[in-house]
Amino acid sequence: MDRRGTVLKGKYELLDLVGSGGMAVVWRGVARGTENFRKEVAVKRILEKYRTSGEAIEMFVEEARVGAALQHPNIVQVFDFDVDEQGHHFMVSEYVRGLHLGDYVKAFASFPDGAPWHTIAAIAVETLRALDAAHTREDDKGRPAPILHRDVTPSNILIDSRGVVKLADFGMARALDRERTTQPDIIKGKLSYLAPELVLGQDPSPRSDLFALGVVMWEALTGKRLFDAGTDVEVVEAVRDARVPLLTAQRPGLPLGLATVVHRALEREPELRPASARDMLQAITGELRVLPSTTDSTSLSACIRQAQEALGRR
C-alpha cells in the first residue's frame, strides 16, 4: 500500500497525496539522484483495486504513451513510466505548483463580478495552444497523427505560481493511429463536458475538445454549471440538446466579441464551431488586444496569488 515515504524503484519518493480520480491517484513526490540531486515531480498510480485490471493497465499505458508523445510548454510533461518492485505501474510527470481553473474560479465566488474575464480569456488562449499542439501533431515521418484530449475540464487546466498554464491528464485521450482501448459503448470523460456528438455515440474530433473548452469558459465566466441536472441521464439529455443561456445575460458587461466566441464553440453541430483550436485562439486573442492592461504570465501570476489568498492557501 502506498504511503508517505514510499520509494518507487529506489528513486521516486512519495510525499503527499494531492489528487484522486475514478481509477488513479496522484502524489507529490521527489525524484532523487546522485550528488544530492532532487526534483519535485508528480507520481500517478492506478488505484489499488484496479492494479490487476487488464483494461485499467492498458488505459494507463496508453496515457503514458500519449503524454510522452506531446512536447509543448502548455502541456504537462511526462518524464518516466515504469513498474515498481511489485510489478505495479506508475507514471512520473512534472509537478505544477499552483491552482487548477476550478479552484481559481471558486476563489472569486464572493466577488460581485466573479473571476476577471480577461484572465479567463488568457487562460483559454494558453489552453488552446496546448490543444493546437495535440490536434496538429505529426509522427516521426511527418504524417498527421493528431491526439484528442477528450477530458477538457476545469481540474485539468492548471495555472502554476508563475502564471504558466498547463493542460493535464491526457488519460482520456485517443490517439487516432490506435484502436479504442475500451468497448465502443463506453463513453469516456466527464458527462457535463462532453460534446453532443459524443453522447450520441459518434466519433470525437478536434471540435469536440473545443466544445468542452466552451463549457469550461461559460462556467468560469458565470460561476454556474452549464449542463447541470439531478441524474446522469438528465445531464446527457441537456448536453444532447445543447441549449446555452446567453453569456451576456448571465454576466452583464462581458465583451460581446468574447461571448460570441464562446457561443460559437458551444454550437450543437460540430461544423458550426471554430474550424480549429488555432482559429478559436486567434478569435479570443483579438478580443484581448483591445485591453489597456496586459494579460501575460506576470499578471496571471498575480491573479493566482490573489486567488490562493482568497482560498487560504500559499
CATH superfamily of 98-311: Transferase(Phosphotransferase) domain 1 (1.10.510.10)
The set of catalytic residues is: 151
Residue at grid coordinates 462532453? 194
Q: How far is it, in rounded angstroms, from Cα 172 to Cα 149?
A: 6
Determine the pLDDT at residue 259.
96
* pLDDT by position in tens, the chain (length 314): 889 999 999 999 999 999 887 788 999 999 998 888 999 999 999 998 888 888 888 888 888 998 899 999 999 999 999 999 989 999 999 999 999 999 999 999 888 888 999 999 999 999 999 999 999 999 889 999 999 999 999 999 999 989 999 999 886 675 555 544 443 333 444 889 999 999 999 999 999 999 999 999 999 999 999 998 888 899 999 999 999 999 999 999 899 999 999 999 999 999 999 999 999 999 999 888 866 556 777 888 888 888 888 888 75
Q: Is the dihedral of CA 65, 66, 71, 72 positive or negative?
A: negative
Which residues, at least 6 apart from 152, have a Cβ–Cβ distance to it below 8 Å? 127, 131, 167, 193, 209, 212, 213, 216
Q: What is the dihedral of CA 235, 239, 243, 249, to 10 degrees?
A: 70
Please give the distance of CA 71 from its chain centroid, rounded to a whole number.
15
Place of cell 489597456: 292
| pLDDT given at position 19 | 85
User: For the chain, which residues make up each domain, given as ranges?
Assistant: 7-94, 98-311
98-311 has the same fold as 7-94: no
Write down the pLDDT at residue 172.
66
CATH topology of domain 7-94: Phosphorylase Kinase; domain 1 (3.30.200)
